[in-house]
């Protein structure tokens, strides 16, 4: 809400009024003191005037007596003194001759204190003839009341006028503008956007202008934050949080309408990013969204949930399920043009769930649609049939079984370790082994549940620390047995959960275990994922592990989003190239060029490069041509038990 404040918005207790109430008594007191001081100064001047007048009279008497002294000097002095006394200038007089004889006494001289003035008398021959003592009345200056009242009143009136003028000027020039700014800030703090209407070219005008500009910037930033919170900056689709909020509102409303929720994930989008760059990937994402938006009703709520994931919800009454799929397939059937003439045909995996048939709340509805999309991607990922209830139940049941096995079964009974060889492609000899975690149920090894899945579920169940410790001990025990048999074992790779890298004392546990089993740290290779390796929180621990002798391998390179320049700065010894690099279009030119860049970069920074997931002769031949020295995959050998490894490679 935008408003302005002016003079009508001032509070009754403004700053200028408060300052006036403070300053006025101070100035009034100053005026009273100044008037009193003026009166005292006038009294001092009068006293000084009377004193100087008396001195002049005394000088005249001295001159007169001195000039008239003769043989009968005391008679002359007596006459002069009597004349002065009668005139009221002298109250008493006494003459003592040079023989110290009292010759003349006029007035009451005995009961008085020392004479006010004493005068030595000389004759014409300048001979001393006696001393004349004079008593003058005490000076009692009584000031006229006008001498105090008039200056005092004038000073007070002048200062009061000055106070009034200063208060008026202060209120007009300072108090009112300050109060305007204060009121605007106070109202803005209450949630309103109040601007200050103040046209001035001084400091207060500068403050008001900057305050208004600050409000403009805050309003702009607020709009940007709201847009970031509600919409995806790349596509303009609803953000995940805003979509969930809207979806929750729809489901919690009291209408009985049915809704269809769809999860769409672009297949092989990571490969597009790695091959053509992130700018091309952004173009694909924007075009993909625009096509979805054009194929659906205008008011459809669409959200971008992740890098290449879109979710939308539509009332069941508007379009049936098959019509929605057909429209999306048709919209995405044309090639996506990137970088000039390069065209890409995309496929996607779709998951679907119905409210309220498949779920009665928004969280479960999202989970079921996501699970359906995930299983669809695992099957073929090409716009397949979507039975959310069946697929979600299948996936959820599988996860629940794994949870139960990990939580309640004995480790030796439900988990086994298999080892997959890592081969030197030049010599066709064993270079290293990777320890893979497998579930062992009813005497059978379940190989279709990957190590990554088991670790992920163990993290969710809170069992990861216990399982990781038991896996390490099982692997170290096996290495001990091979060493006891005189076998020179190669390095063994262990997959490390991201959750463990943030756990305290993880490094100490690793070192303690290798010392306990009598193993060299150099024989253990710790495989960490790309997203963990680029984390600033994990880098110090990774560097510390390498300094302790452990080798560090970057696993599944290609699934994350690291650039080659970032990779060159990571503290790693081994780089494992993910199999997604090899699952490209029929034209392998772009893929070969990308792999060549990775090989050259790894060689330049001193990393050993391992291409994993190699399953075809064509890829093998390409890797040979690219001088990729180490390989891993079913094309060379499948994961096998420790006994099979011993028989095949150590005998």
The CATH number of the domain holding residue 323 is: 3.30.70.270
Q: Are residues 190 and 162 in the same domain?
A: yes
Please identify, among 336, 369, 394, the residue that sits at the C-terminal boundary of a domain.
394
Choose the weakest-confidence range: 472-481, 491-500, 640-649.
Answer: 491-500
* Across 580-592, average pLDDT: 61
Q: Are residues 178 and 253 in the same domain?
A: no
User: How far, in Å, CA of 175 to CA of 364, rounded?
Assistant: 62
User: How far, in Å, CA of 401 to CA of 635, rounded?
Assistant: 31
Residue 452 covered by a domain: no
User: How far, in Å, CA of 503 to CA of 102, rounded?
Assistant: 123
Whose structure tokens read 């893929």? 591
User: How far, in Å, CA of 607 to CA of 624, rounded?
Assistant: 18
Q: Are residues 479 and 515 in the same domain?
A: yes
Residue 426 covered by a domain: no
Query: Under a CB-based contact definition with an 8 Å cutoff, are residues 33 and 215 in contact?
Result: no
Please identify, among 188, 204, 229, the residue that sits at the C-terminal boundary of a domain.
229
Q: Are residues 215 and 290 in the same domain?
A: no
Q: Are residues 506 and 607 in the same domain?
A: yes
Choose the weakest-confidence range: 98-107, 289-298, 615-624, 642-651.
Answer: 98-107
Please name every residue paired with 133 in a beta bridge, in sequence order, or none if there are none. Answer: 94, 118
* Across 246-271, average pLDDT: 82
Confidence of residue 418 (pLDDT cuts 50, 70, 90): very high
Nearest one of 97, 152, 101 to 130, comparing CA atoms: 97
Q: What pLDDT does residue 2 have?
A: 54
Residue 78 covered by a domain: yes
This prediction's pTM: 0.46
User: How far, in Å, CA of 95 to CA of 130, rounded?
Assistant: 7
Q: What pLDDT does residue 437 have?
A: 87
Nearest one of 368, 370, 407, 357 to 257, comparing CA atoms: 357
Percent of the chain past pLDDT 70, that is, above it, reads 66
Encode pLDDT of 505-548 as tens digits. 888 999 999 999 999 999 999 998 876 766 656 788 888 999 99
Confidence of residue 11 (pLDDT cuts 50, 70, 90): very low
More confident residue, 619 or 128: 619
Q: What pLDDT does residue 389 have?
A: 45
Residue 43 covered by a domain: yes
Q: What pLDDT does residue 149 have?
A: 63
Nearest one of 526, 412, 533 to 467, comparing CA atoms: 412
More confident residue, 210 or 473: 473
Encode pLDDT of 361-407 as tens digits. 878 888 878 877 776 665 544 544 444 444 444 445 555 556 556 65
Q: Are residues 215 and 287 in the same domain?
A: no
What is the rounded average pLDDT for all residues in the chain?
75
Confidence of residue 96 (pLDDT cuts 50, 70, 90): confident
Helix, strand, or coil (residue 530): helix
Nearest one of 545, 602, 612 to 574, comparing CA atoms: 602
Q: Are residues 481 and 543 in the same domain?
A: yes
Q: What pLDDT does residue 82 have?
A: 61
Q: What pLDDT does residue 395 have?
A: 46
**How many other C-beta atoms can be found within 10 angstroms of the C-beta atom of residue 249?**
10
* Across 263-290, average pLDDT: 85
User: How far, in Å, CA of 468 to CA of 208, rounded?
Assistant: 63
Domain boundaries, position 489: 470-649
CATH number of the domain encompassing residue 530: 3.20.20.450
Q: Are residues 477 and 390 in the same domain?
A: no
Q: What pLDDT does residue 616 have?
A: 85
Q: Are residues 180 and 261 in the same domain?
A: no
More confident residue, 113 or 280: 280
Q: Which residues contact 11 (CB under 8 A, 6 or more apart)?
A: 179, 183
* Helix-helix angle 176-189:203-230, to 10 degrees: 10
Encode pLDDT of 169-227 as tens digits. 777 777 777 777 777 777 777 667 777 777 777 777 778 888 888 888 888 887 777 77
Q: Are residues 565 and 610 in the same domain?
A: yes
Q: What pLDDT does residue 278 have?
A: 84
Percent of the chain past pLDDT 90, that is, above it, reads 17
Residue 415 covered by a domain: no
* Across 96-119, average pLDDT: 67
Query: Under a CB-based contact definition with an 8 Å cutoff, are residues 135 and 113 in contact?
Result: no
Please identify, among 394, 410, 445, the residue that sits at the C-terminal boundary of a domain.
394
Residue 427 covered by a domain: no
Q: What pLDDT does residue 86 have?
A: 55
* Across 594-599, average pLDDT: 80
Highest mean pLDDT among 28-42, 86-100, 530-544, 559-573: 530-544
Q: Which residues contact 420 (CB under 8 A, 6 or more apart)?
A: 433, 434, 436, 632, 637, 638, 639, 640
Torsion of CA 368, 373, 377, 380, to 10 degrees: 100
Encode pLDDT of 424-468 as tens digits. 999 999 999 999 988 776 666 767 677 777 777 777 666 788 888
Nearest one of 573, 570, 458 to 526, comparing CA atoms: 573
Highest mean pLDDT among 154-158, 500-504, 517-521: 517-521
Confidence of residue 89 (pLDDT cuts 50, 70, 90): low
Q: Are residues 169 and 211 in the same domain?
A: yes
- Residue 496 pLDDT exceeds 50: yes
Q: What pLDDT does residue 483 have?
A: 93
Q: Are residues 153 and 49 in the same domain?
A: yes
Residue 454 covered by a domain: no
Q: Based on the structure, what is the number of domains in the chain? A: 3
User: How far, in Å, CA of 136 to CA of 116, rounded?
Assistant: 6
Q: What pLDDT does residue 517 have?
A: 93
Residue 407 covered by a domain: no
Residue 55 token pair: 């001195």
């Amino acid at each position: 809400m935008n408003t302005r404040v002016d003079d009508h918005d001032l509070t009754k207790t403004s700053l200028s009024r408060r300052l006036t109430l403070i300053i006025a008594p101070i100035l009034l007191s100053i005026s009273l003191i100044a008037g009193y001081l003026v009166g005292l100064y006038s009294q001092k001047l009068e006293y000084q005037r009377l004193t100087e007048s008396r001195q002049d009279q005394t000088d005249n008497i001295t001159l007169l007596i001195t000039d008239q002294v003769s043989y009968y000097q005391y008679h002359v002095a007596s006459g002069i003194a009597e004349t002065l006394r009668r005139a009221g200038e002298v109250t008493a007089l006494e003459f003592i001759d040079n023989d110290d004889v009292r010759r003349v006494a006029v007035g009451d001289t005995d009961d008085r204190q020392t004479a006010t003035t004493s005068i030595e008398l000389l004759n014409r021959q300048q001979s001393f003839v006696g001393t004349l003592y004079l008593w003058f009345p005490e000076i009692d200056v009584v000031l006229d009341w006008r001498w105090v009242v008039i200056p005092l009143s004038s000073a007070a009136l002048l200062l009061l006028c000055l106070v009034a003028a200063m208060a008026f000027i202060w209120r007009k020039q300072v108090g009112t503008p300050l109060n305007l700014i204060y009121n605007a800030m106070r109202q803005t703090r209450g949630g309103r956007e109040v601007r200050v209407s103040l046209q001035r070219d001084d400091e207060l005008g500068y403050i008001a202008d900057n305050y208004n500009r600050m409000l403009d910037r805050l309003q702009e930033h607020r709009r940007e934050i709201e847009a970031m919170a509600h919409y995806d900056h790349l596509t303009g689709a609803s953000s995940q949080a805003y979509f969930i909020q809207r979806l929750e509102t729809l489901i919690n409303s009291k209408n009985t309408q049915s809704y269809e929720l769809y999860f769409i994930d672009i297949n092989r989008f990571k490969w597009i990013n790695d091959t053509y760059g992130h700018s091309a990937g952004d173009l694909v994402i924007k075009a993909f969204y625009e096509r979805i938006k054009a194929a659906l009703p205008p008011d459809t709520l669409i959200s971008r949930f992740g890098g290449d994931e879109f979710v939308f919800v539509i009332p069941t009454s508007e379009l049936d399920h098959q019509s929605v799929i057909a429209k999306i397939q048709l919209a995405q059937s044309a090639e996506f043009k990137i970088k000039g003439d390069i065209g890409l045909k995309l496929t996607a995996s779709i998951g679907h769930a119905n409210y309220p048939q498949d779920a009665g709340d928004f969280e479960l509805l999202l989970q079921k649609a996501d699970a359906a999309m995930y299983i669809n991607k695992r099957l073929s990922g090409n716009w397949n049939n979507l039975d959310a209830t069946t697929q979600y139940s299948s996936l959820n049941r599988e996860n629940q079984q794994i949870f139960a096995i990990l939580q309640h079964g004995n480790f030796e009974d439900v988990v086994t370790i298999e080892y997959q060889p890592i081969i030197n492609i030049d010599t066709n000899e064993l270079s290293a082994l990777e320890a893979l975690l497998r579930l062992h149920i009813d005497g059978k090894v379940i190989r279709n549940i990957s190590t990554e899945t088991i670790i992920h579920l163990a993290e969710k169940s809170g069992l990861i620390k216990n399982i990781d410790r038991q896996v390490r001990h099982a692997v170290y025990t096996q290495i001990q047995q091979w060493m006891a048999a005189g076998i020179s074992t190669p390095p063994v790779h262990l997959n490390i959960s991201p959750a463990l890298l943030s756990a305290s004392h993880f490094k100490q546990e690793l070192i303690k275990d290798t010392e306990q089993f009598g193993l060299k740290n150099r024989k253990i290779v710790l495989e960490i994922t790309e997203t963990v390796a680029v984390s600033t929180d994990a880098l110090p621990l990774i560097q510390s592990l390498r300094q302790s002798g452990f080798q560090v391998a970057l696993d599944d390179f290609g699934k994350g989003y690291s650039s080659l320049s970032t990779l060159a700065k990571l503290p790693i010894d081994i780089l494992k190239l993910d199999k997604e690099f090899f699952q490209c279009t029929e034209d392998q030119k772009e893929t070969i060029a990308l792999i060549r860049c990775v090989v050259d970069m790894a060689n330049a920074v001193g990393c050993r490069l391992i291409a994993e997931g190699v399953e075809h002769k064509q890829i093998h031949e390409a890797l040979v041509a690219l001088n990729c020295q180490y390989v891993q995959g079913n094309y060379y050998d499948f994961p096998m038990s420790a006994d099979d490894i011993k028989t095949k490679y150590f005998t």
